[in-house]
Amino acid sequence: MIHPLSDVQCKNIPESTRIWQYCVILPNAKIGKDCNICSHCLIENDVIIGNRCTIKSGVQIWNGIEIEDDVFIGPNVSFTNDKYPRTQNPNWQLRRIIVCRGASIGAGSTILPGITIGEGAMVGAGSVVTKDIPAKQLWIGNPAKFVKNI
Ligand SMILES: CC(C)(COP(=O)(O)OP(=O)(O)OC[C@H]1O[C@@H](n2cnc3c(N)ncnc32)[C@H](O)[C@@H]1OP(=O)(O)O)[C@@H](O)C(=O)NCCC(=O)NCCS
């Protein structure tokens, strides 16, 4: 289902994936089945999203970001892909982010460039993730720190 108020330029989104109002999805993005992409999301070209993912409102998924199956991205999560951003810098270096299968990221968190969030991990709301998070761990805070195994 692609809501008529969205701008979806990508032609091969599975029918079982729902794209809601005011989303913009660029042509080369790859998006799996049974996903729910809520209103006001932007998805660039060099992006892979797996199956059964939930992306809440207000999330931008930039080039170089991969989201595996069964991932939850909370509202207004900020991904980043340029560690030392400068305007109009042709030499900027893209650093990829991977959110592994089954992970969840709480509302309003910021994920710095080059980070991997492990399988089944959870990031508390409002965290700033500056280091890789191993599988099945809860991390929270700014900078996010290990809290417990889950
Ligand atoms: C991280 C989280 C899973 C922890 O839940 P929990 O294990 O039940 O933890 P508690 O609520 O018992 O809180 C434990 C402690 O952590 C603190 N804490 C909990 N979440 C926190 C967060 N996101 N950032 C900073 N501290 C947090 C609490 O203040 C409490 O501190 P205290 O022991 O000093 O009193 C939960 O708080 C959270 O952030 N969930 C994500 C919610 C969200 O974004 N949902 C998106 C869909 S709407």
Ligand 1: which of 55, 140, 150 to mutate, most ligand atoms within 8 Å of CB?
A: 140
CA distance 78 to 35: 19
Q: Is the beta carbon of 134 within 6 A of some atom in ligand 1? A: no
Q: Is the beta carbon of 107 within 6 A of some atom in ligand 1? A: yes
Nearest atom (ligand 1) to Cα of 123: 1
Residue 93's contacts (CB-CB under 8 Å, 6 or more residues apart) are: 82, 83
Burial 88-116 (b: 16+ CB within 10 A, else e): eeeeeeeeebbbbbbbbbbbebbbbbbbb
CA distance 22 to 111: 23
Contact yes or no for 14/36 (Cβ under 8 A): no
Query: Could you read off the pLDDT of 17-75 as tens digits, one per residue?
Result: 999 999 999 999 999 999 999 999 999 999 999 999 999 999 999 999 999 999 999 99
Using the mean position of ligand 1's atoms as its centre, give its distance from the Cα of residue 11 in Å: 39
pLDDT of residue 130: 98
pLDDT-derived band at 144, boundaries 50, 70, 90: very high
Query: Could you read off the pLDDT of 84-140 as tens digits, one per residue?
Result: 999 999 999 999 999 999 999 999 999 999 999 999 999 999 999 999 999 999 999
Query: Could you read off the pLDDT of 80-95 as tens digits, one per residue?
Result: 999 999 999 999 999 9
